[in-house]
Amino acid sequence: MLTFSLNSGLVRLGALAVLLFQLAGTSEARHLPANPQWTKLAAKRAQNAPAKRAADATTFPLYNFTQPLDHFVDTGFTFQQRYWLSDRHYKPGGPVIVFEAGEGPGDERIPILDTGILNILANATNGLAIVLEHRYYGASVPVQNFTTDSLRWLNNEQAAADSANFIDNVTFPGIPGDLTAPGTPWIYYGGSYGGARAAHMRVLYPDLVFGAIASSGVVHATLDDWRYFDIIRQSAPAACMTQVERTIDEVDRLITSPKAETRHAIKSVFGLQNVTYDPDFASLLSNPLGAWQENNWDPAVGSTSFARFCAALGTPDNATVHTVQGITISNATFNYATYINRTISRECQPPQNQDECFGTITAPDQYKATDLSQTWRLWDFQVCTQWGFFMTPPPDPSTPRIISKLITQDYASLICKLAYDPGEHFQVPPEPDVEAVNKLGGYNIAYDRLAIIDGQEMLGTVAVHHYDENGLADPSQEPPQIQAIHQQEIEFVKAWLKDFKAPSKP
């Protein structure tokens, strides 16, 4: 359900889903929640995945903008920040609409220029549309490697300063006139982390950013993010969640049994008997749940893997299964184990052993490579330094849960210790400095002409996470709710622009 209120330019939906993250389309490597084990699994899968839709360089030219490595201390170093531009709908006097590409390569966002929210808003306002790549992601990389020291310029403050510098100083090749702010109204759009960035840009640089749209913006950073899975528990199909709850409860009981045979047996049912460290085993079971945020109304963008997972779990029954391992378990757990066997356990084949495939503290060397191909280091560095979002079960043990109680905050944040050896110039702090995010408003962030949208996870098949971001070439084919939110965005952005007055020249 899309409930929506429009008053004085501030649009607000419930804050519930601000804790969800973004996963772009088919790329599983993108921004899974912080989890020491999933990060590497996803990176491996991404390597084997087919190439994504390539940027259409002829339709949308790619340009560079020169940024200083450090906005606050003069290092003498600069780097090239990439952006893509669409002047398809541009008419002089129109706004600039910028899409924050966030924590991934900017070229993956080109479809948003073509048929997504950028195209929609630019069409409605005669705007110039831009996808702006985030420092360190894609090819906007200012450093030679991703060691802890080299990552020290990857933070919210530097990223915000990049965008401000861009808005204040860019000249667009082939587009006449000065389109910098405040002479031209800039509308800043982002989803998930990018949504938080959009909100922050409006708050930090109100003279440069005329209006901002934060779609499912994760504006509140937190260490112990137990709500992430709890939102899924409350929103995903109930029968499926019953099966997951039942399994997790049963597995938690068996894996903490005083009897070594029982602990070994339950791992063995899942085909994971050689995963030495029990939290690693327990954490693998929640891996399929990460697919929830890949749901999308547009089959070209979304993934069906969550639905396949639920189908495999079957419907709740009271049957039990006596396993070849000699323990009797619920049919739910049996079905779950069959699914994990097929999709995860079997991915690990000799000569690799299960600790090498799935272990964390038992295989710490896997986190040591720091060359530029180790792009998983980027978002996790941001998580470990400023954002947190360590996904844990609910603190109250009587609350139903869909992930194991073995996933403590210490476990979920292991990657911060394993992957980022202290550098000479920088060390990852013992805990992320979430205050760096939350001091900008957190849940209460608000500003004139700042729209907070898609904040509520929506039931059914229509919306999970920044669902307004993409669109179809033929908008009449979009689900009615998506058409409706696009229409509302058009309306409020147009209303904002009516208030725009170019400041008089000094």
Interface residues with ligand NAG (CB under 6 A)?
62-64, 80, 119, 123, 143-145, 147, 150, 164-165, 168-169, 268-269, 271, 274, 314-319, 324, 331, 334-335, 337-338, 341, 353-354, 370
Tokens at residue 208, please?
Answer: 């440069």
Rounded to a whole number of angstroms, the minimum distance from the CB of residue 378 to ligand NAG is 15
Q: Residue 116 or 393: which CB sits closer to ligand NAG?
A: 116
Q: Which is nearer to ligand NAG, 145 or 481 (CB)?
A: 145
Cβ closest to ligand NAG, residue 84 vs residue 389 = 84
DSSP-H helix ranges across 210-273: 227-235, 238-255, 260-269
HSE-CB for 498 with a 13 A CA cutoff = 8
Return the bridge partners of 388, or none.
222
In the complex, minimum distance from the CB of residue 159 to ligand NAG, in angstroms, rounded to a whole number: 13
**Cβ(280)–Cβ(362) under 8 Å?**
yes
When the beta carbons of 20 and 159 are compared against ligand NAG, the nearer one is 159
Residue 351 class from Cβ within 10 Å (0-12 exposed, 13-18 middle, 19+ buried)? exposed
DSSP code at position 246: H
Q: Are 464 and 293 in contact (CB under 8 A)?
A: yes
Give me the phi and psi of 356, to 5 degrees please: -65, -40
Nearest CA among 64, 60, 53 for reference residue 90 = 60
Q: Which residue is nearest to ligand NAG (CB)?
A: 314
Phi, psi dihedrals of residue 6, rounded to the nearest 5°: -115, 110
d(CA 17, CA 227): 9
CB of 344 to ligand NAG, least distance (A): 10
CB of 65 to ligand NAG, least distance (A): 9
99 in Cβ contact with 341 (< 8 Å): no
Kindly tell me which of 20 and 151 has the beta carbon lying closer to ligand NAG: 151
Return the H-helix or E-strand segment holding 452. Answer: strand 450-453
Q: How far is the CB of 350 from ligand NAG (least distance, A)?
A: 7
Q: How big is the CA angle at 332 (ends 247 and 341), to the nearest 5 degrees?
A: 80
Q: Which is nearer to ligand NAG, 29 or 164 (CB)?
A: 164
CB of 373 to ligand NAG, least distance (A): 12
For residue 112, the minimal CB distance to ligand NAG (Å) is 13
Nearest distance from C-beta of residue 408 to ligand NAG, angstroms: 26
Q: Which is nearer to ligand NAG, 18 or 164 (CB)?
A: 164
Handedness of CA 13, 17, 20, 22 (dihedral sign): negative
Q: In which element (H, E) is residue 199 found?
A: helix 193-204
Using the minimum distance from each CB to ligand NAG, give the nearer residue, 140 or 296: 140
Identity of the amino acid at 28 = E
